[in-house]
Chains A and B, each alone.
Chain A
């Protein structure tokens, strides 16, 4: 059959998932499971890798890998996307299925939620149809105990015919047993005989007609009974996948085609059409799950979910749901702005002093003047700005945001807002991708994979940029802080919060508007089906939140910003100081842009800063400062007050600040985001549109605001 190890096993794995095993002897473990089962926590606890824990479907958007060693063996753990099923409704289900089926992992561990076993068994049973090497990890045992839910693990194991391990990954309970079980199954030292889901007689009969030939063709590579069932179900995605991985088309075989026709005839005779067939397949699985769950789960406390319901009653209440949501968002911003002030000022001072030492050091080295200028005034100052302005707000914002995420609040936001998304012909889960966008728009764009209908997914991708990412937040916060608010003590941070909140709400409204317009024009169509799980609230682990959000997000984003800021600082310094005809290059460009920039309430330097800030929004303000400073004589920027003075010296008014805030909110996505959109949509056209739409919106809005204010004589 030519199904060599090369073409099926590790070879394919490497290609598809970029799996990197150190040696062929490494054991590959796939981690599958429903979303919200603590799958990523299991992953983290096993590997020690600080990988992000998901609280909604699709968080694990690209598969994460981690390694661990147990009793001398190396294990490579692959975290598959969280899915409810493998009957392929979405890209993620297909990825998970293909890996389990064609990636040939040595073991597949299915993580299930002990508090919601019946629903989770659906996926377990489906995976058991594909592979024999399955372990069920019943996670969140601690939550279940707290809720008075008892899961009889031994009985479950006996009923399923696979090893079952109970864990509470957050506390580490049961993880050693899990590792031991993985070892036993991977090394075939533990007999696993998964119970196959029983379907009704006609289906069984039809399967038996095809299975022998499938087995003859595929051997032991893939479970032939399962393939037979998928063939009956006319699952084209599986045929395509087989074509891709095995390089041959199953249905090219004449004998198989014949038996398939026979099977279809049998079904037809019994009035089983495709719809009916699917119903029967799903019914078979669901009924089995129900039967097993009833035998192994005892609920001692019938009111176990009363707390969740009460909390939902408040957080999604008709009158308070949305106000609470806005208040929470406002509180997060307020804490960020208020809390960031002090460390920001501190960092600025530290960097200022360091600059003095650096200067002395460079002088001592005898560095030529222009190199000193480039290094200190160009690179160093840009870096100092990026770090002192970005680090404190991020170090506060991300943990707070992660806290809301861990509590399970974000799906409630989607629930509260879905109606408005529906009106905009978009998907409620877009609210989740937008939340992600607050962190990073590129991440938000990737998160759009959780939306399974292509149309709504594109809408979410094209509009994600309306959510200000944390690269733009400092710009918004700085402008709101130093300009709109005239140092009025306690009220200043409140007013700045309101200004930022207003910007965010405007972004949300523009998202709805743009989604609606897109649905009515180039992305016409009715909203597709919508299902959203509202998982139980979970007690967040504060310590882990801080570690995770600081390491995963804050340092990652800051690192990227710094990496871009350093060379950008250099180039921009050169532009600001390299003169042609007695004027710097930057000034030439700014002058050229000035007439248009003035129309939309900005000036040439600001627009220039936005254009040069394409690689990363974080550097817009440093570019601007450098542009201004190159013109004016030297100015040591050691406080926000001086920054304000610098801006005022360049004819800034409140209108300039407002227009710049508006333009920061609505302009082209950063380079990384554009690149991600290109990758996600596989289309230049959509990438171009994602550039044009927010840019046009920004220009139009700024034009109206600037001209309006000028006509009304407000400035």
Chain B
């Protein structure tokens, strides 16, 4: 269970990550939390946009695109299922 935490933007498409840490501050933090990205939330990395950024994620049933600037503030644990 001693999984390494990696920033969400480094998780390749097709993988699942479980949110373990959020390092954003202020309004950015609030916005990410509002998306439901609280601890232990499972995020599926869906696909990158044509230019490689932003990336679409499946978060609590909705598809949300985040730029790497935001996604890098979320640290996740890769889930192997």
Task: Give A residues with C-beta under 8 Å from B.
Answer: 84-85, 87, 89, 115-119, 122, 275, 278-279, 282-283, 286-287, 289-290, 308-309, 312-313, 316-319, 321-322, 415-416, 418-420, 422, 428, 527-536
Contacts and interface: CB of A to CB of B under 8 A. Distances in A.
Nearest to B51: A419
B65 A415 contact: yes
Interface in B20-54: 22, 24-25, 27-36, 38-39, 41, 46-54
B16 to A, nearest CB: 14
B63 interface: yes
Contacts of A289: 36
Given A122-B34, A278-B33, A419 B64 contact: no
A665 to B, nearest CB: 25
Contacts of A116: 61-62
Interface of B: 22, 24-25, 27-36, 38-39, 41, 46-54, 56, 59-67, 69-70
Given A321-B49, A422-B53, A532 B64 contact: yes
Contacts of B29: 275, 278-279
Contact of B49 (A275, A278, A290, A416): A416
A322 B50 CA distance: 7
B54 A532 contact: yes
B65 A531 contact: yes
Contact of B36 (A122, A415, A533, A536): A122
B70 A318 contact: no
B33 A531 contact: no
B14 to A, nearest CB: 11
A416 B50 contact: yes
Contact of A316 (B31, B47, B53, B66): B47
Q: Classify the interface of chain B: helix, strand, loop or mixed.
A: mixed
A545 to B, nearest CB: 24
Given A119-B60, A428-B54, A84 B34 contact: yes
B63 A119 contact: no
A419 B54 contact: yes
10 contacts: A117-B61, A118-B61, A312-B56, A312-B63, A317-B50, A418-B51, A422-B67, A528-B28, A529-B31, A531-B65
A533 B67 contact: no
A536 B63 CA distance: 8
Contacts of B65: 415, 418, 428, 530-534
Best-surrounded residue of A84, A317, A419 (most CB of chain B within 10 A): A419
Contacts of B64: 531-534
